Structure 1
Amino acid sequence: MRDFRWPPPPDGGPRTYGPGPSAPRSGRPTLPEPETELVATPHGVRLERLVTGTGTPTTVFAHGLASGIAVTRPLGSAVDGRKVFFQFRGHGRSDAPKGPWTYADLARDLRAISDLSGATRALGVSLGAGALTRLVADSPDRFDRLVFFLPAVLDLPRPAAVKSRLATLAAAVEAGDVSAVADAISTEIPPNLRGTPAIWAYLRQRIDQLMRDGLAADLASLADEVAIADPTRLGRVTARTLVIGSAGDELHPVAVAERLAAVLPNATLHVYDRPGVVWTERSDLRARISEFLNAPE
């Protein structure tokens, strides 16, 4: 049995021990992360922000749990106008005020970045989708277009698997065990794609960020929180909305996407037929998001 080694080779690897092919494998190296800024917010929490693109409209992108700017950026690659990416509290270089935290706190972070950036549109991934849900429940006319990608929580807490995964990842980061961090992150990736050059590049990027910035202990409290107690409040949301779910994803149950789309008045639901769509349906996903956000009024 041959296995992979960590870190991967610079040519994109992976390499394997023992007999077998050993020719260099192609794979683009990970690009350096762009320079970000720390932004002061009205609620006193400094948040890390990156702004790309020019013109109008402005779209804000909210990442998932233990994720960040680097993972959400590809979702906006074909979106017109200015694109604002940021790190929630406890992620990246953003502040980590004393917890426990709730989705109301995350919605406050998202609202501050949106207001400071003049964003009229928003996309939320997983945890970010929960924060966006809470924000528009409180302010139903804040945005004119919304995208909820892999929403994970509505009015019921997230599955126990989320708590277990986060605890495993946090322990590995705290111990400085790079291999264990790689193993924890790789559970997000379809098994048949693990070990490809693209995945190694992705792992490098995620590991570099996590080992540099760490994970705030109070993130664990979010696993028991709900976005809103009463989903019918979303019936007042005025924005055109796209909800994207994925069958078979235990961390992002498709039932959450279906219920969310059902209570939003102007929602379109699309469900992919298998998990791991960021890797297996990347082109279609980017096109679906950009076509929705770029479509004329």
Structure 2
Amino acid sequence: MTKDRNLPGPDSDFIATFGTGEPHTLFGHGFAGAIRDTRPFGTGITGTKHFLHLPGHGGRDSPGPGWNYGQIAEALARALASTSATRALGVSMSAGGLLRLLSTTHPAAQTLEKVALVLPASFTGFSAEVAEANRAHLEKLRGLVAAADVESITDLMLSREPAEVAELLPARAWTKTKAENLVNTDMSDGLGLALEIAVDASVSADPMGALARFPGEVLVLTHEDDPAHPVEVAEAIAAAIPESRLEVLPAGSILWRGRHEVRRIIGEFFG
């Protein structure tokens, strides 16, 4: 039987590698995501591409209840070191982990030359409105996961998407797979990450200064009308990193309605 290269095991530290040569780029998925979700972001990017399954995903054990961005950052740091990557792309949860690395001047981040933050979900905090919306959504989701109600979890997740996206059959199938993983694996340990802060002043003496001094290039890519990934978060990140490039696309663009534009932007950034 041919091994599924999208499901790497512990022998490769849960990293799937494609391509050859320089440069080396690491790709990290979002919460309840997978390598299959991040591979399209690598389309057209030259060199060696490394795709990571974070703990609690892709058959990799959860670190236990109560995930935080420090744990995500350390998993990314180990992958950066083992792959010798000089470039990285993080989606949502992984974007937060990369921000934690950059803001703490982690040794693993010192070799990074280019960083793409796609749909960043967390930065230094949330407005009261966003925090309350996240909390209410999380409570509903936890209840449905406890009841193992896959269909209702799918509906709840899709309720945060534009109607045109929610009605797409591929979008529903993809979301249902995420719902099944939440019910059938230990991934649900990480549900509370939606309320966690990526860049925490209590962890580093000068996190904002560290971000401002990062010498590499940074792309911040998001889209409008996504409650899980507020544009205000992406704007705050871009403002904190003077040389960064901010791209805000129409609603539903990143995964579904604007794939060609997303690939163009990422391809131009990584060169």
TM-score category (smaller protein):
0.7 to 0.9
- Residues 205-250 of structure 1, C-alpha deviation per residue, up to 9 Å, x if partnerless? 4345445434232441552334232423201211111111323322
Q: TM-score, normalised by structure 2?
A: 0.82
Indicate the residue corresponding to 1:215 in structure 2. 187
Indicate the residue corresponding to 1:181 in structure 2. 153
Indicate the residue corresponding to 2:231 in structure 1. 254
Indicate the residue corresponding to 2:59 in structure 1. 93
Report how far residue 106 of structure 1 moved: 1.0
Partner SS, residue 37 of structure 1: coil
Find the aligned partners of 1:174 and 1:74 in 2 and give their Cα distance. Answer: 32
8 A Cα contact 1:90 1:219, kept in partner: no
- Residues 230-271 of structure 1, C-alpha deviation per residue, up to 9 Å, x if partnerless? 423201211111111323322222122122112224311111
Find the aligned partners of 2:137 and 2:11 in 1 and give their Cα distance. Answer: 31
Q: Any gaps of 5 or more consecutive residues in structure 2?
A: 202-206
Indicate the residue corresponding to 1:18 in structure 2. none
Indicate the residue corresponding to 2:41 in structure 1. 75
Indicate the residue corresponding to 1:63 in structure 2. 29
Report how far residue 141 of structure 1 moved: 2.6
8 A Cα contact 1:101 1:222, kept in partner: no
Change (3 A) 1:80 1:118: same
Name which of structure 1's ranges 90-99 and 277-286 shifts more when overlaid on structure 2: 90-99
Indicate the residue corresponding to 1:19 in structure 2. none
| Count of aligned positions | 258
Aligned with residue 199 of structure 2, among 208, 224, 227? 227
Residue 256 of structure 2 aligns with an amino acid whose one-letter code is W
Change (3 A) 1:205 1:290: farther
8 A Cα contact 1:103 1:222, kept in partner: no
Superposition pairs for residues 106-255 of structure 1, below 5 Å? 106-137=72-103, 138-139=105-106, 141-157=110-126, 159-207=131-179, 209-221=181-193, 223-229=195-201, 230-255=207-232
Report how far residue 273 of structure 1 moved: 3.8
Find the aligned partners of 1:92 and 1:219 in 2 and give their Cα distance. Answer: 16
Alignment identity in percent?
30
Indicate the residue corresponding to 2:204 in structure 1. none
Q: TM-score, normalised by structure 1?
A: 0.76
- Residues 182-209 of structure 1, C-alpha deviation per residue, up to 9 Å, x if partnerless? 2133234321233334324423543454
Indicate the residue corresponding to 2:9 in structure 1. 38
8 A Cα contact 2:254 2:262, kept in partner: yes
Name which of structure 1's ranges 119-128 and 223-232 shifts more when overlaid on structure 2: 223-232
Change (3 A) 1:35 1:249: closer
Change (3 A) 1:52 1:181: farther
Bigger radius of gyration among the two = 1
8 A Cα contact 1:150 1:252, kept in partner: yes
Partner SS, residue 15 of structure 2: strand
